[in-house]
Amino acid sequence: MGCVAYAARDAFVLVDPLVEDWAALDDLVERQAKPVHVLVTILFHERSRAEAVDRYGAVETIPPGVEPIAFERAGETMFWLPEHGALVPGDRLLAFGAGGLRVCPDSWLAYLRNGLTGEELRADLRRLLELPVELVLVSHGAPVLAGGRAAIARALEA
């Protein structure tokens, strides 16, 4: 399981915090000397959110330099970091093989109880292809460190 720490211009952003070593994160937060923002992509990624908010006096608002991309029916908000061409998804895009991605299994959508199908999710995710994505910092598996847009396109065709 992954999480992302991003030093934006005026904020230090934690996306889906999952903290095992608080001392290391304390040091990183202190060195950044910026207000901390905590963002969550999907309900299941609350993980260390509450403790991070309490520990750092963090706010749960989206700072400049971070753009939310909501997929309401899919119960997820991905975050776009345009400065780095980086997309941060929660559970709807997963690592697959070396440098690849896949869309989450249909079974991962059942809890939504809104009838969303994998085919409908793929259609909705197609709007990601409008972005110049280079990196995809997934929560499950290895990140895509080059050619993110192409990896998304391949995942949507599968």
What integer pLDDT is reported at residue 138 of this predicted model? 96
What integer pLDDT is reported at residue 158 of this predicted model? 74
C-alpha to C-alpha distance for 49 and 148, rounded to whole angstroms: 27
CA nearest to 37, candidates 64, 20, 12, 73: 12
Quickly list H helices, the chain. Answer: 22-32, 49-56, 118-125, 148-157
Block residue for tokens 């937060």: 29
Is the pTM higher than 0.85? Answer: yes
Q: Which domains does the chain have, with CATH numbers?
A: 4-157 (3.60.15.10)
Residues of the chain with pLDDT under 50: none
